[in-house]
A and B are shown apart, each in its own frame.
Chain A
Amino acid sequence: MAPAQFVLDGQPLDFVEGDTVLTAVLRSGQILPGCLCLAGDCPHCLAVIDGVGYTRMCRTDARPGMVVERQPVKEYPALPDEPLGRRITSRLIEVDVAIVGGGESGTAEAERLRAEGRQVAVFDDQRGEEVVGIYAGPELVIRTPEGILRCEAHEVVVATGSAEIHPACPGNHLAGIFTAGAVEQLAGFDLGRLVAVGTHPAGVDCTHLAGTLVRFEGTTRVESVVMADDDGLETSHPCDSVSVGLGRMPRDVLARMSPEAAVRVIGDAAAPTTLPSCPVVGVVCPCSDVTVEDLQSVWERGFNELELVKRATLAGTGTCQGVVCMPHVRSFLADRGVATTSSFTARPLARQMTMAEAAAGWAPPAFRRTALDAEHRALGARMDRFGGWWRPWRYGDPLQEYWAVRQGVSIGDVGTLGKMIVSGPDVVEFLERVYPGRIADLKPGRSRYVLILAESGGVLDDGMVCRDEEHRFTLTFTSGGASFAEAWLRDWASTFGTSVHILDRTHAWGAINVTGPLAPELLARAGVEQPPGFMGHAPALVAGVPSRIFRLSFTGEASFEVHHPRHQSVTLWRELLRLGRDLGIKPHGIDTLFTLRLEKGHIIVGMDTESDSTPRRLGLDWAVKLDKPDFIGRQALLRSYGFPLEKRSVGLVMEGSAPEEGSIIRTGGEYAGYVTSSRFSPVLGHPVMLGWVATGGDGSPVGDLSIDGRPARVASLPFYDPEGHRARA
């Protein structure tokens, strides 16, 4: 039977059962550069295996057909040309105790805990279970052959044992250098003339060298070891391979990752540390190629603490996370009088993981869909994402949609608006304290535009307050504001100690805006002969659908928002389109809506506002009643009103085409502000804009304005139908 093979650097390589990739490579007579540990600690056997870089050959079982490309320590592996196409799963489990390490101490601890009746999980990298991080909780993240495992445990036991100390001296990059533990594992391998430095490898017959290790010599493979006696006299010892036994350090990177009390360290991982002798010359950190000279350089520049040395040299930040270099860096500092009781802070990840593994179990944020989503798509709407929702941007020619609103009738899906019911004995007091506008004098059946302010006085959102009954209101918020509205209201109700009930209806109610001069006619055809007057609202059956009609206007034309149960949205939408067919009805998207509202000078919060946009700066002082005893943001407004008005949002007009939103507004060549909204107005025949401009103390813009090198001027708002006759018609 032909021997099993995998591909190493493009060539087939035999392996035997039980081989790791590394032992198969060594069995073939190839020797890797750098001191090999065969314990997963060092960075010297990294490879790209089946497309995944930074894979340790010593920790990977050889399998037929696997493709291995050796990866130089100091170089990044090439990214694969194509995605690997592997879907990595993520799974969460809960256990009582999670033990990291399946060695002697870990196994014994597991047996002891199980005997106590505790539920224990043991994760062992020998089985391909690499714990890459311990997070708050504590929660472990583990790479496994099956995917990413997340383990929440009441207690974590770190039993990861100890790692052998690597040599830090000239020539430690040469091939043929092994830790003593590695040599013990390689018993039976032909390593040529083997000599041993320090602790002798158990059970291995080789020449032991006395004295202190000075350097390794050779070109690519070690050819001799130079040792010094107590008098400093150097002796060169010819060899093909070297076993280096310099002692051990706790393998405690995971233990240092979590300051949580629920993480316990046992066995060799908790053993006291004996530092190696201070390195004198040579590479200390092979991952980041840091030499003793580099350490000395940063030391002389004042980096005299372990954490600072790490940051200044990057020692310990590479693949092995300090396992190789940290004993020597600590020894370097100890030699200079710096007490280092432990290694530096460790943070996840302790091992490299792929982007697919890091993203395992993650899902992108979801965008909501109104009940009319399929209707929009069936009508050919181009959908886009706004305020957390999929919304129709336009159905076809936006100009046709526009004129349908201005001259006929149109419907728009406004089901995305935030909608809340608030009731309770303290509801009026609560809303008076929440909103800067007046609430108590609002009669049932009437509505009022309101601002929502942050405590800093900036406008957070806007909407409507609609009084349904004496102690019950319906509040609306913008589509983007809906997501925070309920939590915001509940938070303030709790803060004020007011007795109110709050119910979010955003997802429960659909809303269709019927707008245009023929909107009353369409509603009459739908069975609503007496719609509410401007800023009024009333229940009604609209085309047989139980609804509440809110009369207001964002478009500048007569508008009726028909709120209704979501599951009847499609019925209502289709019926309104059918009833309005001979009226030339067209649905409009938000592209058209943005033009319509801009002609009326209505702001869009977040688009025309900044975090410091106070009502005064926005020209919305009329919506603020400072004579109220208190409301959110009142104190900040009172303070800010004592200062000159340095900038404000204004309406702007100019000739020609509409400039890009965000365009710079200049005065005399100097920056004066920028355009926040800009559209060409079909009905006015010129661009209309909103923008922030610097003002003099009296609030007037300073000097002549230009945008895109063209003259622009401030215009009073609204641009269209300033008396509001059309909206009230």
Chain B
Amino acid sequence: MPGLEELTGLRIVASAEAIDAALWPAGSTPLRIAADDVFLLNGTSAIIGDHHAIIEPESTFQGRWLDRGVVEEWVATNADWLLPTGDGFSQGMVAALPVKIWASGTRALVIVPASFGAELEARL
């Protein structure tokens, strides 16, 4: 699967309450990695009500939008879990790679740390 793209945005680590209360800028997509951790895809700014929040430009991830059926098949044949039905954000090991998947409608964005990008291209 060639054609992975750098995914840009902000990485925000803050209290869960502050993240729950955050309002995200238009055009960005918050991907909740953990209760205290968000990757704000395509985000350039964020107002977080936590004085100690870590807000950093993010260049960790690469990814690519694919047909949802392709991603479902890949997960079903290479993982110990299935892509949930409906839209949502999933995380887990697929083909021995730490993968995040944002499923939206008929498409799904497959995300990996860039350091695994070449392996994802070889294994997907």
B59 within 8 A of A: yes
Contact A503–B59 (Cβ < 8 Å): no
Interface of chain B residues 1 through 43 with chain A (CB within 8 A): 6, 11, 13-15, 36-37
B59 touches which of A373, A500, A508 (Cβ 8 Å):
A508
A369 vs B121: C-alpha distance when bound (angstroms): 13
A567 vs B14: C-alpha distance when bound (angstroms): 25
Q: What residues on A are CB-neighbors of B96 within 8 Å?
A: 362-366
A508 touches which of B11, B37, B97, B117 (Cβ 8 Å):
B11
Contact B97–A366 (Cβ < 8 Å): yes
Interface of chain B residues 24 through 74 with chain A (CB within 8 A): 36-37, 50, 52-54, 56-60
Interface of chain B residues 62 through 115 with chain A (CB within 8 A): 76-82, 95-97, 113-115
Question: What is the 8 Å Cβ interface bit string for chain A, positions 485-524, against chain B (1 contact, 0 not)?
Answer: 0000000000000011111010110000000000000000
Question: What is the 8 Å Cβ interface bit string for chain A, positions 409-432, against chain B (1 contact, 0 not)?
Answer: 000000000000101110100000
Question: What is the 8 Å Cβ interface bit string for chain A, positions 359-393, against chain B (1 contact, 0 not)?
Answer: 00111111111110100000000000000010000
Contact A503–B54 (Cβ < 8 Å): yes
Interface size on B, residues (CB 8 A): 34
Contact A361–B77 (Cβ < 8 Å): yes
Q: What residues on B are CB-neighbors of A361 within 8 Å?
A: 77-78
Contact A507–B119 (Cβ < 8 Å): no
Q: What residues on A are CB-neighbors of B115 within 8 Å?
A: 368-371, 389, 507
- Closest CB of chain B to A266's CB: distance in Å? 28
What number of A-B contacts does a CB cutoff of 8 Å give?
A: 91
Instruction: Considering the complex, give the chain B residue whose CB is closest to the CB of A422.
Output: B54
Contact B114–A507 (Cβ < 8 Å): yes
B60 touches which of A90, A91, A501, A566 (Cβ 8 Å):
A566
Beyond A421-B54, A421-B56, A507-B115, whether A501 also contacts B76 by CB under 8 A is no
Contact B113–A368 (Cβ < 8 Å): yes
Beyond A91-B77, A421-B56, A567-B59, whether A363 also contacts B13 by CB under 8 A is no
Instruction: Considering the complex, give the chain A residue whose CB is closest to the CB of B58.
Output: A508
Instruction: Considering the complex, give the chain A residue whose CB is closest to the CB of B6.
Output: A567
Q: What residues on B are CB-neighbors of A91 within 8 Å?
A: 76-77
Interface size on A, residues (CB 8 A): 38
A563 vs B56: C-alpha distance when bound (angstroms): 14
Q: What residues on A are CB-neighbors of B116 within 8 Å?
A: 366, 368-369
Contact A503–B13 (Cβ < 8 Å): yes
- Closest CB of chain B to A544's CB: distance in Å? 16
Greatest chain A CB density within 10 A among B77, B80, B117 is at B77
Greatest chain A CB density within 10 A among B36, B59, B78, B113 is at B59
Contact A363–B60 (Cβ < 8 Å): no
A92 within 8 A of B: yes
A471 within 8 A of B: yes
A128 within 8 A of B: no
Contact A507–B123 (Cβ < 8 Å): no
A457 vs B72: C-alpha distance when bound (angstroms): 46
A89 within 8 A of B: yes
Contact A508–B54 (Cβ < 8 Å): no
Q: What residues on B are CB-neighbors of A505 within 8 Å?
A: 56, 60
Q: What residues on B are CB-neighbors of A370 within 8 Å?
A: 115
A565 within 8 A of B: yes
Contact B56–A92 (Cβ < 8 Å): no
A660 within 8 A of B: no
Question: What is the 8 Å Cβ interface bit string for chain A, positions 91-135, against chain B (1 contact, 0 not)?
Answer: 111100000000000000000000000000000000000000000
Contact A508–B56 (Cβ < 8 Å): yes
Contact A371–B114 (Cβ < 8 Å): yes
Interface of chain A residues 78 through 96 with chain B (CB within 8 A): 89-94
Beyond A501-B54, A503-B13, A507-B113, whether A92 also contacts B119 by CB under 8 A is no
Contact B56–A502 (Cβ < 8 Å): no
Interface of chain A residues 549 through 576 with chain B (CB within 8 A): 565-567
A421-B54, A423-B54 given; name 6 further pairs at CB < 8 Å. A90-B78, A92-B76, A371-B115, A421-B56, A423-B52, A503-B54
Residue ranges of B at the interface with A (Cβ–Cβ < 8 Å): 6, 11, 13-15, 36-37, 50, 52-54, 56-60, 76-82, 95-97, 113-119, 123
A-B contact pairs, 22 of them (CB 8 A): A90-B77, A92-B76, A93-B82, A363-B97, A363-B123, A366-B97, A367-B119, A369-B118, A370-B115, A421-B54, A423-B52, A423-B54, A424-B52, A425-B52, A472-B52, A501-B15, A503-B13, A503-B56, A505-B60, A507-B113, A567-B6, A567-B59
